[in-house]
Structure 1
Amino acid sequence: MNNEQTGAPRHDRSTTPPANAADVRASAVQTIGDRRVRIDSPLPLQEWTPSEETVVEASGSWPRLELDRVWRFRELMYELAWRDVQVRYKQTILGAAWAVIQPTLMMIVFTFFVGKFAKFSTGGMPGPVFFYSGFLPWTLYSTGLSRSGNSVVGSVNLITKIYFPRLIVPFAAMGPPIIDFLVAIGVLGLLMAWYGIVPSAQILLAPVAVAVLVAAALAGGLFLAALNVSYRDFRYVIPFLVQLWMFATPAIFMDVTQLTTAAKGAETVAAADANGKATASPETENAETAAAPAKPSRTTKWLMAVNPLNGIIAFFRAATLGTPLPWMNFGIATAMVTTALAASLFYYRRVEDTFADVI
């Protein structure tokens, strides 16, 4: 039996507009207090045009990055980032002050405890300024890596219900760490003013180091986010990796510029001994050993070479405090981050089609 015989409503699936478009009325539901009221309001349609279609294609072995779609959905990315910022400090007493507490506490610990015993070299800079300028960019990286790595599994309801470029989720997760960094950098300015450190024109290069640092956090975060969907063990591994990676980044708490001059220093000392330098007494040697800063070990030099964060953090500190810029280390670090970011983007795009089914 057809619809006319049964009296059932007929559903017209044609794409042609209604005959009398001016009489079309749209229904909306509005919440007023605790009541939901249905409101009918006329919507005059002057001209009917077909809406833009979004075609979702399966990615092949070499998926396209589709960064243009990410740009089209940028408003959604901004909204998700702002939502995370609001939720982060909701119902907290200190609010945005938490962005300052973490690098400040680490600065205090290394200035008055670790730095006194380990005698890390600060390159002639005051300890509080040196350590804070190292832990500030590290906090941006570690927080961004953790949030972006857990962003996909934390957005289950959003991913399984609607379509949007999945790259938006880890990108938006970097919003709160960047806001925290902008708040905490004010403390660095106060410390520099307290110790009479006047920034030079090279401070304009500090945003370049911050941009590379954000890219480094995204490179690791995208890779961990994709793995976290299939293997939830990474949710517990990520905090451990972040803590371990801090100790693998000696540029945070010591002057790594001495690594490039260590060989020259060793040659100078050897030449002085060959020319008949007088041997000091045991008391003098002990005093000099106690006053001398800890020299970088072979492990420290190896970490400096393979960890790009060392070059980025050292470049940020030098640009901010006005010390010589480690251009070579920063250039190598930038190349490593660019390669890692490209690889993580392709891997993320290749497996993102399975997120809604596996998550």
Structure 2
Amino acid sequence: MTEVSSFPDFREPTVVIEPRKSLLHLDLKAIWEYRELLYFLVWRDLKVRYRQTVIGIGWVVLQPVLTMVLFTAVFGNFAKIPSDGVPYPIFTYSALLPWNLFASSLARGTESVVGNAQLISKIYFPRLLLPISGILSPTVDFAISFVIFAAMMIWFRTLPTWGVLALPLFLILALLTALAVGLWLSALNVRYRDVGHTIPFLVQLWMFASPVAYPVSLVPERWRVLYSLNPMAGVIEGFRWALLGKESPDFEVIIISSMMVTTLLISGVVFFKHTERTFADVI
């Protein structure tokens, strides 16, 4: 007769870590299995971000609106920068939507590994979850800012065209751009902490090198291909066309920028996977 124990089994589940097949192997199955941890990381960032602030989540609205007002005064009224036939406030705000998403995602993605040092040293989980969580949490800010943009379009009586159906594609491209660059910077930031200090300066320079305050058409034709190597050029050009749809976008800029994003993403995954084995030791 077999005796059945009445005591519950408190043994810890066994985690089997298999050798990776290659540096490009993302192991999407493992990422999916740890999706609850990903949700937790995103939710924790949302809770902590505006804790003990007076305005709180109001900063999500104030930052792009104040930047839009400043750009409208300086570039729209004083410098008379052309805005492709649409009111300058929504012209620049349509670019600030993807730009702020990218800038915020990049900053959080860069600090994602160093900021979770205790978690890395204690438990196993796919390290790629960290930079991925860094780019996902700012999408909530993006959604709130998008509501403000919709109200502005109603105010200026500007209606979207069928191109708005392509907006999710350019949103994904913006997130992939942030992830691609964030993979490089988050891995480098583990060993070289100066990387984190350069992000605000880098983002500021990058913004003026991107068509946020001016249209791509203002860039001389002979420099257009070189300019398109900036991955955010294609993202912003695509956003403007999808939201405003006044004229056909520069598909050459979008295609070259997309190819640049693909290159950065593949190389970023390889570099991150190559260096992640040393994270726990260096941190």
Give the structure-1-normalised TM-score. 0.73
What is the correspondence of 1:213-228 to structure 2 with a 5 Å cutoff? Answer: 213-228=174-189
CA distance in 2, matches of 1:145, 1:135: 15
Q: Measured at CA, do residues 302 and 240 of structure 1 come closer, stay the same or move farther in structure 2, by a change above 3 Å?
A: farther
1:103 aligns with 2:27: no
CA distance in 2, matches of 1:100, 1:202: 25
1:305 aligns with 2:228: yes
CA distance in 2, matches of 1:225, 1:299: 35
CA distance in 2, matches of 1:101, 1:300: 35
What is the correspondence of 1:108-123 to structure 2 with a 5 Å cutoff? Answer: 108-123=69-84
1:69 aligns with 2:30: yes
Contact 1:318 1:325 in 2 (8 A): yes
Q: Measured at CA, do residues 177 and 62 of structure 1 come closer, stay the same or move farther in structure 2, by a change above 3 Å?
A: closer
Post-superposition CA distance 1:151-171 (Å, at most 9, x none) = 100001101110000000111
Match of 2:247 in 1: 324
Cα RMSD (Å):
2.3
1:54 aligns with 2:16: yes
Structure 2: gaps of 5 or more residues: none
Post-superposition CA distance 1:108-134 (Å, at most 9, x none) = 001112332322110111011111111
CA drift of 1:299 comes to 9.0
CA drift of 1:188 comes to 0.6
Post-superposition CA distance 1:269-296 (Å, at most 9, x none) = xxxxxxxxxxxxxxxxxxxxxxxxxxx4
Post-superposition CA distance 1:295-328 (Å, at most 9, x none) = x457964653221211110111111112224233
CA distance in 1, matches of 2:80, 2:21: 54
Flag the structure with larger Rg: 1
Match of 2:264 in 1: 340
Aligned residue type for 2:52: Q
Q: Measured at CA, do residues 113 and 223 of structure 1 come closer, stay the same or move farther in structure 2, by a change above 3 Å?
A: same
Give secondary structure in 2 for the equivalent of 1:22.
Answer: coil
CA distance in 1, matches of 2:266, 2:206: 21
CA distance in 2, matches of 1:63, 1:213: 21
Decide which of 138, 141, 144 is 1:183's aligned counterpart: 144
User: Which range moves more in the overlay, 210-219 or 82-91?
Assistant: 82-91
Aligned length: 281
Give secondary structure in 1 for the equivalent of 2:255.
Answer: helix
Contact 1:152 1:225 in 2 (8 A): yes
CA drift of 1:173 comes to 1.2
Match of 1:207 in 2: 168
Structure 1: gaps of 5 or more residues: 1-18, 28-47, 260-295
Q: Which has the higher helix share?
A: 2
Aligned residue type for 1:140: L
User: Which range moves more in the overlay, 111-120 or 170-179?
Assistant: 111-120
Contact 1:151 1:173 in 2 (8 A): yes
User: Which range moves more in the overlay, 305-314 or 346-355?
Assistant: 305-314
What is the correspondence of 1:1-359 to structure 2 with a 5 Å cutoff? Answer: 20-24=3-7, 53-57=15-19, 62=23, 64-249=25-210, 251-256=211-216, 258=217, 296=219, 301=224, 304-326=227-249, 327-359=251-283
Contact 2:23 2:273 in 1 (8 A): no
Give percent identity, aligned residues only.
41
Match of 1:277 in 2: none
